[in-house]
Amino acid sequence: MPELPEVETTRRILEPLLLGQKVLRILHQDPTRYRRTHWAEGRRVEYLARRGKFLILGLEEGREAVVHLGMSGGFRFTPDPHTRLTLSLSGQTLYYTDPRRFGRWWVVRTGEYREIGLLGRMGPEPLSSDFTLRGFQQALRQTRRRIKEVLLAQEVVAGLGNIYADEALWQSRIHPAQPAHTLGPAEVRRLYRAIRLVLEEAVAAGGSTLSDQSYRQPDGKPGYFQLQPTFRTPLPWP
């Protein structure tokens, strides 16, 4: 499933292509999965943002297109057999592909995420100043859930899925089944540092591509984090 690094890579690639473009048409055959897309038509793209694993296209007149890539969703510059939605803009056409059909789109009034419940309860962005060691320690002390479950739930820290939660736990030498409230100060500190390091390196590498049907960048190139020397290698934290 595309996680923070893959969505951030997608955002960075698409941003210069989409900013200022007018949405002409959005074509698809699944209004249940791709909701109110007609609201976007005729509006210009004012910004591209990311929140956790969600990509957000800010549109004129108080609308946002919120995209969750699911397990296999992504954007391409050319259509393919798994194209589910075509985004026609004034200067660019993009094709949303999704072999496994778990991705979702919503066009909503800006900031109104009630039907996208996770957006309303999501924790801090791990690469931002909002994600602090102190806040992380306090959040972990308050739950008896297993530490991997806590990381995947998005409420303590946003954007982690199986790939990067496993990698951060491996590098910090913490068992994924350990109850979060039992982690000692040194373990929490190692995990906090590992989360930030893993995600920084993954974003720099363009994310991870682990199989034929997993994430690829919009131009079809794979991510390269899985080839980095730190991938699956515990770091010598103190």
| Residues marked as catalytic | 2-3
Where is 175: in which H helix or E strand? none
What torsion, rounded to 10 degrees, do the Cα atoms 100, 102, 108, 114 define? 180
Q: What share of the chain is helix, strand, coil (3-state, %, to 5)?
A: 30, 25, 45
Q: Tell me how far apart the alpha carbons of residues 221 and 223 are, in angstroms, rounded to a whole number.
A: 7
Q: Tell me how far apart the alpha carbons of residues 9 and 75 are, in angstroms, rounded to a whole number.
A: 11
Backbone angles phi, psi at 141, to 5 degrees: -65, -20
Edge-to-edge strand order for the sheet containing 93-97? 23-28, 83-89, 93-97, 74-76
Structure token pair of residue 231: 């991938």
